[in-house]
Structure 1
Amino acid sequence: MSAKRRFALNSLLASLLVCSPCAFADEAQLERGRYLVNIGGCNDCHTAGYLMAPGSIPESEWLKGDRLGWSGPWGTTYPSNLRLLLPYLSESQWLTLARNANYRPPMPNDKLHIMTDEDLLAIYRLVKHLGPAGEPAPAALPPGQTPPAPVVLFPTPPAD
């Protein structure tokens, strides 16, 4: 074998040895992100139709937001399209956003607050892996404004 050919083969083997653990680590993080998105209930709101057919919505449709509104004393909120937001944030920006989350109901802000940085970054990397897709969610409506259908209606809590 010529020296040139041996060098090329050694270079290829070296790149495989370097990349394989990276690819494994990347896939492990993506799997962790998938797991967290599922157990954290992210798909329940941020993936159209997921609550009606859990497990049957393809991953390519995940986290693109929904036009189903959540209406209550706070007004009406719509699940944002995470695929149009997260890919444009740095990891640091995402961590800051998640740690300071104070969104209107039914967003479980407390879940983001208690996740580890590793958990939040696994979700971030999954969303980046899925890539930008879909349309922006409708803008939130203030209390008293009638939302266009459909909505999930939360009752006003009883007074103390």
Structure 2
Amino acid sequence: MKKTLLSLGVAAFGISLLTAFSLPQTKPVQSAKPTPPAYTRAQIEKGQYLINIMGCADCHAPKKFTAQGPVPDPALGLSGHPAQMPLGTINKDALKEWVLFNGMNTAAVGPWGVSYSANLTPHATGIGNWTEQQFIIALTEGKSKGIRTARPLLPPMPWPNYVNMKREDLVAMFAYLKSCKPIDNNVPQPITPDKL
């Protein structure tokens, strides 16, 4: 009896080994995450040209102060208003007749409240998680984070100037920005006028 059970056990083990090695191997199921489009060198170079001539660094690049005045800090790229930089004192009387900018030109104050220039680098705190379509919506429809149900982009962002840009130019700009060095900088949220 013991011999019969032992023989059956060995036979069952052998069959299970044969079955395991003879079944077709299946690959693990991978998530259906869309892969970002690959951009060409020509698109990236065109995007860099457009970003430069459009003056994006005027507001989106933190500055270093030199004898000639503030200049974009290359180490901080287009990372927007520095998260840890205090806003400073706002002269509310001046706001009756003026729009004010901080010394780096990364924060602006006006009738809309306070707006901060966004991080345009491909870090998660910038446009790292954005799709090409979100970028196009942000620039041509003036919607925060390129989400149609989000708040409007605030001044001084000149998005109405970009409404009629060619899609290929917008894609080139996005391609360039996605190729930049990612910089961790979580820009503060805007401040509404009632909170000034």
Q: TM-score, normalised by structure 1?
A: 0.65
| Bigger Cα Rg | 2
1:95: Cα distance to partner? 1.9
Query: In structure 2, what residue type is equivalent to 1:48?
Result: P
Match of 2:130 in 1: 89
Greater helix proportion: 1
Matched, 1:73 2:111: yes
RMSD: 2.3
Cα pair 2:126 2:186 within 8 Å, conserved? no
Identify which range, 119-128 or 82-91, moves more after superposition.
82-91
1:77: Cα distance to partner? 0.2
Cα pair 2:61 2:81 within 8 Å, conserved? yes
Matched residues in 1 for 2:153 and 2:76: separation? 23
**Unmatched runs of 5 consecutive residues or more in structure 1:** 1-22, 147-160
**Unmatched runs of 5 consecutive residues or more in structure 2:** 1-37, 83-105, 143-151
Match of 1:145 in 2: 195
Match of 1:31 in 2: 45
Cα pair 2:115 2:154 within 8 Å, conserved? yes
Query: In structure 2, what residue type is equivalent to 1:127?
Result: L
1:46: Cα distance to partner? 0.6
Match of 1:154 in 2: none
Matched residues in 1 for 2:191 and 2:159: separation? 19
> Which residue among 45, 53, 71 is the counterpart of 2:71?
53
Matched residues in 1 for 2:173 and 2:57: separation? 12
Q: TM-score, normalised by structure 2?
A: 0.54
1:131: Cα distance to partner? 4.3
1:33: Cα distance to partner? 1.1
Query: In structure 1, what residue type is equivalent to 2:57?
Result: N
Identify which range, 96-105 or 72-81, moves more after superposition.
96-105
Runs of 4+ in 1 over 6 A off after TM superposition: none
> Which residue among 86, 96, 99 is the counterpart of 2:140?
99
Matched residues in 1 for 2:41 and 2:114: separation? 37
State the secondary structure of the residue aligned to 1:107.
coil
Cα pair 2:140 2:160 within 8 Å, conserved? no
Aligned residue-pair number: 120
Query: In structure 1, what residue type is equivalent to 2:80?
Result: G
State the secondary structure of the residue aligned to 2:136.
helix
Matched residues in 1 for 2:133 and 2:164: separation? 17
Query: In structure 2, what residue type is equivalent to 1:93?
Result: Q
Matched residues in 2 for 1:44 and 1:108: separation? 12
Query: In structure 2, what residue type is equivalent to 1:66?
Result: H
Query: In structure 2, what residue type is equivalent to 1:27?
Result: R
The percent identity for this pair of structures is 33
